[in-house]
Structure 1
Amino acid sequence: MPEVTTHTRSVPLGRTTLELSWAAGTDTGRRREVNQDALLAEFPLFVVADGMGGHLGGEIASASTVDRLRAVVDSGAVSTKNIEKALSRAVKDIVSHPETTDEGTGTTLTGVYLETHTEEPHWVTLNIGDSRVYLLRDDEIVQVTTDHSVVQELIAAGRLSPEEAENHPYGNVITRAVGPSDSVKPDYLRLDVLDGDRFVICSDGLTKELTDFGIRHFLEANVDPAAAVESMMAAALENGGRDNITIVVLDVSRSDA
């Protein structure tokens, strides 16, 4: 994994100033030959995409999705509407490679962006698939996004416990993705912007190897986002590294006049 660096950004918002710091890293893991994950960590949008599909299909899907979203960031107009337009373009990119992609090709997408064009700034999470956004707030870690997966549907129906889901044979089967055969509209959730919040955005390569408690432990042990990413990555690899692993840690400091 290349060296992980912490980036910072001051965001003046009327009487409020946000100090954001973040770091991101990705690793192929110990069992995969290629890395089909992709990430974008550029203010105001922070996302992770986990591609799936044979040959180069998954890599094309995740890279196309991130590239299209990067263009939205560059335009300075990050919104749910423009995100969905970008995802539609990404699907067209995916199907334009028939030699390496098919209906089973696609990618998860999850992350957060800062919405500042409202009276009160807020975070917007977006999610398609089973990559996740976690929030550490007031010493409690919460999975903000809901997995689009077979096991999550079984849990919601009361047919499976979270503990049983960890080793379920359908654990890798997702029910929604950015791809030719699925809707490209993510689930969204708005969150208040609070001082001291810490987000973790990750592919399931991390959550296969670390529990929620483990993620919280490494956040609490590492104040610097880059150190937190590196520590979680090392632990995930030590625990098996069965999949590609991608992690973004985003810290929020807010001061109100």
Structure 2
Amino acid sequence: MNKNAWTSFAKTHVGNIRKINEDNFLDAPQAGLWCVADGMGGHEKGDTASALIVDYLNALVNMHSFPLRPEQIEERMSLVNHKLVSMAEQLPGASVIGSTVAVLLFDDKLAHCLWAGDSRIYRLRQGRFTQLTRDHSQVEEMVQAGLLTSEQAAIHPAANVITRAIGANDEVHLDLLSFERLPGDRFLLCTDGLNKVMGDAELGGMLLQPTLPELAEDLMQSALQRHARDNITLVMVDVTEGLSDLEQTGQYKDTLPLDDTLPLRR
């Protein structure tokens, strides 16, 4: 792996309302691996669940060299799921210790998105901003069934009800989306504390800014100014391999062909 193939930057904040940050993230560019995890609010030990996800993925980074495989991510999440279910069984009542997860993985040529829950991965390519993940949520199912519009879903009373998460059931299944990675691609991984207060049009416009640290700070401050009620976590990744120095600094944008994204495995 060329050490200059990509750059990344991560940031998290407790938000304006909550006292505990139940979000966690992994920023491991040396392994081509990034993730965000959002501990399930209203349940026991959400911060423990999201931290365990990051710990298990980080252990994978320490045990193996680049490139990692999607199957290895799935195996680690299965182990986390089993541990969280076992921990919950020790608590009184019908307790759940769970977390969403969204993982971005690079190998030699491809990018892979793996996720469970409503944490998201977006991509900016040639000025086109795309949500790559599909929320595992009650309102998203209603949108897919034609019962709600996306705008209605955002303010629906069930907007926070997710249908899949690590630790929520005895077995866990991650959705997988794989596609060719192209020079100039920019990715945003985020928990719903960001996308619930900022729409796609605004997010896509802000991602046109050239440098990641300043962009991450602007995104965070914009969410906080909107009185974000949830924790906010974001991870930014720029693919710089094959770009000139001018392109890497954002001073020149080449015209790149759009890829044919491989279908979702659901």
Q: 1:208 aligns with which of 187, 191, 196?
A: 196
Local SS of the residue matching 1:255: coil
**What is the deviation of 1:242?**
0.8
Shift in Å at residue 80 of structure 1?
A: 2.2
1:53 CA displacement: 4.8
Partner of 2:251: none
Partner residue in 2 for 1:115: 107
Q: 1:232 — aligned with what?
A: 219
Q: TM-score, normalised by structure 1?
A: 0.86
Q: 1:28 and 1:101, CA in 2 relative to 1: closer, same or farther beyond 3 A?
A: farther
Q: Is the 8 A contact 1:201 1:248 kept in 2?
A: yes
In the alignment, is the contact (CA less than 8 A) between 2:44 and 2:97 conserved in 1?
Answer: no
CA distance in 2 between partners of 1:88 and 1:172 (Å): 24
Specify the alignment match of 1:105 in structure 2. Answer: 97
Q: 2:8 aligns with which of 22, 30, 38?
A: 22
Equivalent residue letter for 1:107: S
**Could you say which structure has the higher strand fraction?**
1
Whether the 8 Å contact between 1:55 and 1:100 is mirrored in structure 2 is no
1:96 pairs with 2:82: no
The 8 Å contact of residues 37 and 49 in structure 1, kept in 2 or not, is answered as yes
Amino acid at match of 2:15: G
Cα offset, 1:176, TM superposition:
0.3
CA distance in 2, matches of 1:101, 1:246: 31
* C-alpha separation in 1, matches of 2:4 and 2:181: 9
How far apart are the structure 1 equivalents of 2:214 and 2:16?
A: 21
How far the C-alpha of 1:101 sits from its partner, in A, is 9.6
AA aligned opposite 2:79: R
Residues 37, 215 of structure 1: CA spacing in aligned structure 2 closer, same or farther, 3 A cutoff?
Answer: same
Partner letter of residue 127 of structure 1? W
Relative to the length of structure 2, the TM-score reads 0.84
Question: 18, 26, 29: which is aligned to 1:32?
Answer: 18
Note the C-alpha offset of 1:241: 1.5
Q: Distance between the aligned counterparts of 1:81 and 1:189, measured in 2?
A: 13
Secondary structure of residue in 2 paired with 1:66: helix
Pairing 1:8-87 to 2, within 5 Å after superposition: 11-12=1-2, 19-43=5-29, 44-54=32-42, 56-76=44-64, 78-87=68-77
Q: Is the 8 A contact 1:229 1:249 kept in 2?
A: yes
Give the distance between the partners of 2:204 and 2:93, measured in 1 at CA.
37
Q: 2 CA distance for matches of 1:59 and 1:158?
A: 34
Distance in 2, Cα, partners of 1:218 & 1:86: 34
Does residue 147 of structure 1 match 2:135?
A: yes
2-side partners of 1:66 and 1:139: how far apart? 31
Q: Distance in 2 between matches of 1:18 and 1:48?
A: 23
Specify the SS of the correspondent of 1:108: strand
Q: Which letter maps to 2:162?
A: I
Alignment correspondent of 1:249: 236
Runs of 4 or more consecutive aligned structure 1 residues displaced over 6 Å after TM superposition: none
Change (3 A) 1:109 1:185: same
TM superposition shift of 1:67: 0.5
May I ask how many residue pairs the two structures share in their alignment? 237
For the residues of structure 2 that align with 1:49 and 1:140, how far apart are their CA atoms? 26
> Post-superposition shift, 1:145?
0.4
Structure 1 CA distance, aligned partners of 2:93 and 2:206? 37
Contact 1:129–1:177 (Cα < 8 Å) also in 2: yes
Residues 54 and 105 in structure 1, CA contact (< 8 A), matched pair in contact too: no
Change (3 A) 1:193 1:91: same
Show structure 2 runs of 5+ residues with no match: 244-266
1:111 Cα deviation after fit = 2.2
Q: Say what the alpha-carbon RMSD is for the aligned residues.
A: 1.9
Does structure 2 conserve the Cα–Cα contact (< 8 Å) formed by 1:199 and 1:251?
yes
TM-fit CA distance, 1:45: 0.7
* Cα distance in 2 between the residues matched to 1:143 and 1:185: 20
CA distance in 1, matches of 2:227, 2:182: 35
* Alpha-carbon distance between aligned partners in 1 of 2:50 and 2:16, rounded to the nearest angstrom: 20
